[in-house]
Structure 1
Amino acid sequence: MSLTERLLAADERLERLAAAPQDGPRILFFSGGTALREACAELIKYTWNSVHIVTPFDSGGSSAELRREFDMPAVGDARNRILALADPKETQAFAAAEFLASRLPREGGNEALRELATQIARGAHPGMSGLSESTAAVIKDSMTLFLDSCSERFNFSGASIGNMVLTAMYLRHERATAPAIDEFSALVAARGTVRMVLDAPLDLKVHLEDGKTVVGQHRITGKTEAPISSRVSHLRLHRDGVTVARRETRIEGEVRALITDADMICYPVGSFFSSIVANLLPGGVPDSVAANACPKVFVPNLGLDPELVGMSLTDQVNALIEYLRNGAIVRAGGTYLDGVIIDPEAHYPGDVDCAYLESLGLEIVEAPLLDREQGLVAAVPLIRTLMAISC
């Protein structure tokens, strides 16, 4: 049955999934931390088994300060996705999620801000008043460990409370991200599995067609610094001034199993290079994708992505396939991409070249995705479409 044919039975399938989300499909997303924030609230209505492979390469904000302090992967994307998956029906856990989503003020001096962090460690912070005793105890213990571990020079300005708690869990679990993420997820009743694609403190480096290079995820996205002005030629992983070879960045066995066991793989909306392609760079990812016979779909952006300078929809599809193909060791006879989900009423850069996409063996799945007020992919129809076409 084609992906489009599955959409015809969407209402019946969605009703069945909503009745038992604990048995829902294992849809795997390669993404960053923020793009699917609203979509996750819809996603958990239909499945508690989604998998989110996120990047650990953030080089700005609170994550950057933690990376400098502890020489660790960036936890911000993982924290963001876990909180987005928090179950609002679990009132105590959701209260914890709301508190962990907050930040310390940016102003006030570092000594005063450290004192606010100390209030959390004591359970005296006003934002903790609605937390259960057991939840508050975990947060207090984590913040105590964090304060004992960080140096006097640590900058608390605008620090994410969730990032600090997750960092403490990472340190408690002997600098392993998976058990720390699981502990943090349990604290907020997250309905899904989140993993970093790599458990290593690396950076992104882009080579632009105008000959320039840019190092650091926050310098690529165009969110906090001026956007790149030339088309991306290629993206690499970087550490201490040196490009890191793919063979030195192979994914762990658990991440490999999550990819090979998924019921559907989605390359969703989001920052194209720093969120999606970045997840495809480590060794083992392409082979794991190809080894899985499940459907693989791409949902291109409708809004402006500053990373896509001069790139059409066709260019984006070609880039996805090429990064996966070039990174593969053994293709295992599988595919890297099977379908592209588009809204026929929306505009895509370079338009939709149906003949070319179909010549690649791709199915074009048409669905009403556009939020006309914002000009973006709307969360509800996106998730309903993915649920309908999943295995």
Structure 2
Amino acid sequence: MFLSASTTVDVPSSMNFIQRRKIVVFSGGSAANSLVDVFNEVIEKNNCALTYVIPISDNGGSSSELIRVFGGPGIGDVRSRLVRLIPHTHTNILNLFNHRLPASTELADAEFLTLLTGTSPLYASIETPQAMLIRSILSHLHLEILKRSRPPTSTFNFQSASIGNLFLTGARLFSGSFESAIYLLAIMGGVDESKTAVLPAIVSNFSHHISAGLADGTIIAGQNAISHPSEPTALNNADGGQAGHGTMIVNGFNPTIEDATLPGSLPTLKKSAIAFSKECEESLSARIERVWYINPYGQEMRPAPNPKVLEAVSTAEAVMYSIGSLYTSIIPSIILQGVGEAIARSGGARFKILILNGSLDRETGGFSALDFVAAIARAGEESRGRTFQSSKSVDGRLWSMYVTHLIHLEGEGVPKVDKKELARWGVECVRLYGRKSPEGEARYDGQALVQALSAILGKRERGERSRRNTLEN
């Protein structure tokens, strides 16, 4: 049972995290960052501890270059959330870890050198012990880069690199632990992990990639290829020309380069994808039906999740699916072994809340709210070892095991919501007023969303309808 806002409980500060009610949020990086302040207010108002579960399958942007050279997890979304959680009291650290090197390779190399020597203006307001620690981690990363350098065919490209990504990778290589690297960045940034924790869906020093199967039989390998059309990125040699002295580079992949990927790996998983488009998205040839994990050769695999994720979900009173990319930000965490069981099990989380996107993207073109719910239910069931021909073949009676509440907007471009059909299968809908973005897309109003989430979390019995809806049907 939830404590009321007026209830006072005196417990030692070291036990606050144990006594707080627990919420788990499945999300990706950039899109869900816009709701961090909303989630912070919800946990403050409801005396909750919150855990973000973030996938590590992102192989685009500056993460792709780190994966190419060092292997390891896709850290971009984890870094993005950690940096977003850094409080204003640590603005200088936030600015450093949020900074990206220039898009020009030459300028990026020069600026990284100032970070190594300590002459970068980004260090100006950072305390000396912290600055020295950051320099030490980046110096260790630089040493590892030099050890792996094979000029002229293979050199590390600092173009548009995120300082936070470089730091996390350097700390992981130094400590041998991805979790240790996350802890170091969080503690330096002043993130209060007793209130808000960031967990990678998988804890590993190896890369984990996903594939998507489309309704027309097409298979797309690699998260970046699924989400965004990418632009080829040529690696430069010491003379500024393309790598390989005449070797043809196709889609950013040079077969002569020796890097961290295994021989025979799929070319789409080996290429660097530093530049890609988030705005101009080409449509897929057909709708996505399913997502699964693959090894470097494209064969399906079923990895185990971070044990802390299973623990967090198993003890949570509420599970939330944030806005963002359905198939590359949410589902990669749900399909891991045991996660579906932890979400669906009897006596588990009482509230399973899907915050529906305010618009459709490349991954969900033509989807309705029913499709979103069915896709999540299918992912949960496949985590438990069940297979389906399509999301439409998932029995509606399974839906409420994974989604009990759906929060949505109305307006042009918003996924269609069939309230009666969802209610038939035990999913309660909460419709909110929204606002228009400069691009004309529907966006959630922060305070309305806080009120809706708090109203759901305040229910005493599953199935009790909300009395604080912001818009009556």
Common fold, TM-score beyond 0.5? Answer: yes
Partner SS state of residue 31, structure 2: coil
Within the alignment, does 1:328 sit opposite 2:384 as a pair?
yes
Larger Rg: 2
1:356 aligns with 2:421: yes
Unaligned residue ranges in structure 1 (runs of 5+): 7-11
Measure how far apart 1:47 and its partner are.
3.3
Corresponding residue for 2:293? 237
1:343–1:233 Cα change, 3 Å: closer
Relative to the length of structure 2, the TM-score reads 0.71
The equivalent of 1:137 in structure 2 is: 132
Q: For residue 82 of structure 1, what is the amino acid of its counterpart?
A: L
- Partners of 1:217 and 1:352 lie apart in 2 by 28
Matches within 5 A, 1:37-76: 37-47=33-43, 49-76=49-76
Amino acid in the other structure paired with 1:99: L
Instruction: Give the Cα–Cα distance (whole angstroms) in 2 for the partners of residues 352 and 164 of structure 1.
Output: 42
1:157 corresponds to which letter in structure 2?
Answer: Q
**Deviating more after overlay: 96-105 vs 253-262:** 253-262
Please state whether the residue corresponding to 1:26 is helix, strand or coil: strand
Separation in 2, partners of 1:132, 1:379 = 35
**How far apart in 2 are the matches of 1:357 and 1:154?**
50
Select which of 199, 210, 222 maps to 1:204.
Answer: 210
**What is the rounded CA distance, in whole Å, between the counterparts of 2:425 and 2:317 in structure 1?**
22
- Asked whether the equivalents of residues 56 and 200 of structure 2 are also in contact (C-alpha less than 8 Å), the reply is yes
Given that residues 339 and 365 in structure 1 are in contact (C-alpha distance below 8 angstroms), is that contact kept between their aligned partners in structure 2? yes
Q: CA deviation at 1:329?
A: 5.6
* Cα displacement string for residues 131-181 of structure 1 (whole angstroms, at most 9, x for unaligned residues): 12232122111111111111331111111111000111111221x222211
Poorly superposed stretches of 4+, deviation over 4 Å = 20-25, 344-347
Cross-structure match for 2:469: none
Question: What amino acid does structure 2 have at the position aligned with 1:139?
Answer: I
Q: CA deviation at 1:35?
A: 1.3
Q: Does 1:182 align with 2:183?
A: yes
Structure 1 pair 98/383, CA: closer, same or farther in 2 (3 Å)?
Answer: farther
Corresponding residue of 2:171: 169
Q: CA deviation at 1:64?
A: 0.4
Q: Distance in 2 between matches of 1:214 and 1:157?
A: 26
Structure 2 CA distance for partners of 1:234 and 1:43, relative to 1, 3 Å:
closer
Determine what percentage of the aligned residue pairs are the same residue: 24
Contact 1:221 1:227 (8 Å CA) reproduced: no
For 2:126 and 2:64, how far apart are their aligned partners in 1? 28
Query: How far apart in 2 are the matches of 1:316 and 1:43?
Result: 21
What is the Cα deviation at residue 36 of structure 1?
1.8
CA offset digits 1:220-261 (Å, max 9, x no partner): 223635342310121111121223322xx1113222111112
Q: What does residue 126 of structure 1 align with? A: 121
Cα deviation for residue 80 of structure 1 reads 0.1
RMSD: 2.8
Q: Contact 1:25/1:390 (CA < 8 Å) preserved in 2?
A: no
> Unaligned 5+ residue runs, structure 2?
150-154, 230-275, 387-399, 459-473
Query: Of the candidates 379, 404, 407, which is equivalent to residue 338 of structure 1?
Result: 404
SS in 1 for 2:401: coil
User: Normalised by the size of structure 1, how large is the TM-score?
Assistant: 0.85
The answer as to whether partners of 1:28 and 1:51 remain within 8 angstroms in 2 is yes
Q: How does 1:1-391 map to 2 (within 5 A)?
A: 25-47=21-43, 49-88=49-88, 90=89, 93-109=90-106, 113-150=108-145, 151-152=148-149, 153-174=155-176, 176-191=177-192, 192-199=196-203, 200-222=206-228, 224=276, 226-246=282-302, 249-291=303-345, 292-328=348-384, 335-343=401-409, 348-349=414-415, 351-368=416-433, 370-373=434-437, 374-390=441-457
Letter in 2 for 1:183: L
* d(CA) in 2 for partners of 1:379, 1:159: 31
